[in-house]
């Protein structure tokens, strides 16, 4: 709550700054607006922005750094005795943080003497009442650390108040004193705005960096515990939260690629023929109806497709195909997920291909007709070859979507990893349940997770692999489109 007040205080100062800066500029020009370098409001904005920007910047920085700093200090002061054999320092620290937070919630004051057993067990029940459930009794050392943590946080918060207000007032004073009729206020304000625009554009880079760094960081932890050879070259996926699990990516990758292959086998012919028909044969009326209808498929959230796979397609395939053919009796299967994902991908293939086919110039068609080719011969022998790079690009983009797709496979493909030692028959049976990289990322990272165990960290390695594969496919697709695009000018 105090943070809200600080923000409001800074905003109020900025508002005052706007009014005062504006009137000071007017006063210095003697009320004659033509004597000013810029419009009066720019002088006001200049003061307001000089108050706001450094103050909020400092606040954001402080809020980021303070917890890390206090954590490190308390953690180093924590006696080794408080960290027992069965736990780690970081787990104890999370207890400390929770106790400290709970103490703040129930507003407990520090007792006069050192806390004894009775006080601590009473405290535990009071914390439980406030919604802070603790597994074990509170260790005295943890309690002391929590008290120090609270004190540190409180001091940090007051220091932040002082520092932020000082910066705000300083900015106010400097910019206010600089304000006079010859000050180039518009240029200054516009430079400030330009910096804001650049910062906004840079967020894309920061996001990419954030993705790569966060995954690299945790993946490094994973490979410290688990040899990378086992991860990339092993053939068994069997996580075991008691330790000693075999975590190899190949069985998951097989599932991912197999499902994506089926999805593409569904989506590419349908999408491509739909695009050809829409751009070459369809009357304007059919096109106006069919094209949006197909594009609706792209706007449907993947969870809807997932549910469709789970409650409709899965049981249907099982009852009419898998069981009569003796191929299995699981409703979640490679075929279920692949088929539904294929439906999802139809609009990706069709609308991209449609654009590309439309971009082939009419003169090529006319030339072909003039030589006596039928319409389908023209399409097969002239238009498709001319549009091929674009179509390949569209297929690659669809493949990258298929590989990264999560909800359809979570609900439709099952959770059992492919087992290479069961023989090729089970591996290629499309009615067998099979899991994918994305499913395992979800299952390893949901629920109670312990960020020190390789079973959890493996999700980051899987995520990084997924990121690299999809990125590679996207870059390749864009490169093919650029490299082989015919220039018709």
Contact positions with other proteins (CB under 8 A) in 314-373: 343, 346-347, 350
Residue pair 204/210 in contact (Cβ under 8 Å)? The answer is: no
Q: Binding to other proteins by residue 70, rule CB under 8 A?
A: no
Among 166, 478, 482, 484, binds other proteins (CB under 8 A): 478
Question: Whole-number minimum distance, CB 332 to other proteins, in Å?
Answer: 11
Per CB under 8 A, which region of 118-126, 224-232, 354-362, 441-449 contacts other proteins? 441-449
Question: Whole-number minimum distance, CB 282 to other proteins, in Å?
Answer: 8
Rounded to an integer, what distance in angstroms lies between the CA atom of residue 350 and that of residue 33? Answer: 61
Q: Binding to other proteins by residue 377, rule CB under 8 A?
A: yes
Among 303, 371, 428, 452, binds other proteins (CB under 8 A): 303
Question: Whole-number minimum distance, CB 11 to other proteins, in Å?
Answer: 15
Q: Binding to other proteins by residue 67, rule CB under 8 A?
A: yes
Among 144, 327, 387, 459, binds other proteins (CB under 8 A): 459
Question: Whole-number minimum distance, CB 377 to other proteins, in Å?
Answer: 7
Per CB under 8 A, which region of 108-116, 415-423, 445-453, 479-487 contacts other proteins? 445-453
Nearer to other proteins by C-beta: 201 or 325? 201
| Sites for other proteins among residues 201-220 (CB under 8 A) | 201-205, 207-208, 210-211, 214-215, 217-218
Among 62, 161, 223, 277, binds other proteins (CB under 8 A): 277
Q: Binding to other proteins by residue 375, rule CB under 8 A?
A: yes
Question: Whole-number minimum distance, CB 60 to other proteins, in Å?
Answer: 11
Among 135, 200, 325, 424, binds other proteins (CB under 8 A): 200
Picking from 302, 384, 296, 313, the residue whose alpha carbon sits closest to that of residue 347 is 296
Token pair recorded at residue 75: 């953690």
How many beta carbons lie within 10 A of that of residue 38, not counting itself?
19
Nearer to other proteins by C-beta: 186 or 485? 186
Question: Whole-number minimum distance, CB 326 to other proteins, in Å?
Answer: 27
- Number of shown-chain residues binding other proteins (CB under 8 A): 89
How many beta carbons lie within 10 A of that of residue 215, not counting itself?
20
Q: Binding to other proteins by residue 61, rule CB under 8 A?
A: no
Picking from 443, 279, 411, the residue whose alpha carbon sits closest to that of residue 357 is 279
Among 82, 108, 257, 445, binds other proteins (CB under 8 A): 445
| Sites for other proteins among residues 88-147 (CB under 8 A) | none
Per CB under 8 A, which region of 17-25, 108-116, 191-199, 226-234 contacts other proteins? 191-199
Quickly list DSSP for 31-98. T-GGGSSS-HHHHHHHHHHHHHHHHHHHHHHHHHHHHHHHHHHHHHHS-GGGS-TTS-HHHHHHHHHH
Quote the crossing angle between the two packed helices 250-276 and 384-404, to the nearest 10°.
Answer: 140
Rounded to an integer, what distance in angstroms lies between the CA atom of residue 358 and that of residue 360? Answer: 5
Token pair recorded at residue 247: 């975590």
Residue pair 344/412 in contact (Cβ under 8 Å)? The answer is: no
Question: Whole-number minimum distance, CB 39 to other proteins, in Å?
Answer: 10
Quickly list DSSP for 369-392. HHTT--HHHHIIIIIHHHHHHHHH
Strands 237-238, 246-247: pairing is antiparallel
| Residue 241 per-residue DSSP state | T
Residue 239 DSSP SS3: coil
């Amino acid at each position: 709550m105090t943070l809200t007040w600080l923000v409001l205080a800074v905003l109020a100062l900025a508002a005052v700054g706007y009014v005062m800066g504006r009137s000071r500029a007017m006063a210095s020009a003697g009320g004659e607006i033509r004597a000013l370098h810029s419009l009066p409001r720019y002088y006001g904005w200049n003061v307001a922005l000089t108050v706001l920007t450094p103050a909020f910047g400092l606040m954001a920085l402080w809020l980021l750094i303070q917890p890390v700093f206090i954590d490190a200090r308390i953690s180093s002061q924590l006696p080794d005795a408080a960290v027992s054999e069965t736990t780690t320092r970081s787990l104890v620290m999370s207890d400390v943080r929770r106790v400290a937070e709970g103490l703040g919630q129930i507003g407990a004051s520090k007792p006069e003497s050192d806390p004894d057993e009775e006080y601590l067990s009473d405290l535990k029940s009071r914390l439980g009442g406030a919604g802070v459930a603790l597994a074990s009794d509170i260790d005295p050392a943890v309690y002391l650390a929590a008290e120090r943590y609270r004190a540190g946080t409180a001091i940090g918060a007051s220091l932040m108040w002082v520092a932020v207000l000082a910066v705000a007032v300083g900015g106010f004073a400097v910019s206010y004193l600089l304000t006079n009729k010859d000050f180039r206020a518009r240029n200054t304000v516009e430079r400030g705005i330009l910096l804001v625009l650049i910062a906004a554009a840079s967020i894309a880079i920061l996001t990419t960096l954030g993705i790569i760094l966060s995954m690299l960081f945790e993946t490094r932890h994973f490979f410290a515990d688990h040899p990378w050879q086992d991860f990339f070259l092993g053939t068994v996926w069997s996580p075991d939260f008691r330790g000693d699990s075999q975590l190899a990516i190949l069985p998951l990758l097989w599932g991912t690629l197999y499902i994506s292959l089926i999805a593409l086998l569904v989506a590419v012919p349908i999408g491509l023929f739909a695009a050809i028909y829409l751009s070459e044969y369809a009357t304007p009326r059919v096109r106006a109806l069919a094209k949006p209808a197909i594009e609706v498929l792209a706007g449907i959230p993947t969870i809807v497709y997932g549910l469709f796979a789970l409650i409709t397609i899965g049981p249907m395939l099982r009852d009419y195909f898998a069981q009569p053919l003796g191929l299995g009796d699981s409703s979640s299967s490679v075929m279920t997920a692949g088929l539904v994902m294929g439906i999802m991908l139809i609009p990706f293939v069709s609308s991209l291909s449609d654009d590309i086919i439309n971009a082939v110039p009419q003169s090529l068609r006319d030339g072909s007709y003039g030589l006596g080719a039928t319409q389908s011969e023209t399409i097969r022998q002239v238009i498709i070859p001319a549009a091929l790079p674009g179509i390949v690009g569209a297929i690659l983009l669809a493949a990258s979507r298929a590989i990264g797709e999560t909800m359809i496979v979570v609900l439709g493909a099952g959770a059992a990893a492919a087992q290479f030692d069961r023989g090729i028959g089970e591996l290629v049976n499309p009615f067998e349940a099979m899991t994918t990289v994305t499913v395992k990322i979800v299952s390893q990272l949901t629920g109670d997770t312990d960020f020190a165990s390789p079973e959890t960290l493996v999700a980051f390695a899987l995520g990084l692999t997924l990121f690299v594969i999809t990125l590679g496919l996207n870059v390749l697709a864009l490169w093919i489109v650029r490299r082989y695009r015919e220039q018709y000018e």
